[in-house]
Amino acid sequence: RPGVVGFSLGSGHFANGSKDVTIDGATIKGDSRRSKGIHANVTMRVDPILKNTGLQDLVGGSICFYDTKVKLIRA
């Protein structure tokens, strides 16, 4: 729809099997492909009171996806 920006969630992780983990002396090798991608929560509207976290949906407890405005700039 014109004027709407969307992004896929769940395509970026900080860990989730991307790095080696040692459990009880056994090393489980990570897969670097799992650390690729982005997670766009950091682009969401900031809570006006807390200032250091995304604005939360009080009913569902998730980040407010539908209340964030963006401006696209051609690079």
Instruction: Note the pLDDT tens digit of each residue in 18-39.
Output: 889 899 999 999 888 877 766 6
- Give the distance between the most distant pair of CA atoms in the chain: 54
> One-letter amino acid identity for 26?
A
> Which comes out higher in pLDDT, residue 39 or 59?
59
Average pLDDT score, the chain: 79
- Residue pair 47/56 in contact (Cβ under 8 Å)? The answer is yes
Q: 67: which 2 tokens?
A: 């209340």
Q: Which of 15, 48, 49 is nearest to 32 (CA)?
A: 15
Q: Which of 5, 2, 26 is nearest to 69 (CA)?
A: 5
Q: How many degrees, rounded to 5, is the angle at CA 50 between CA 58 and CA 35?
A: 80
The model carries a pTM of: 0.41
> Which comes out higher in pLDDT, residue 47 or 24?
24
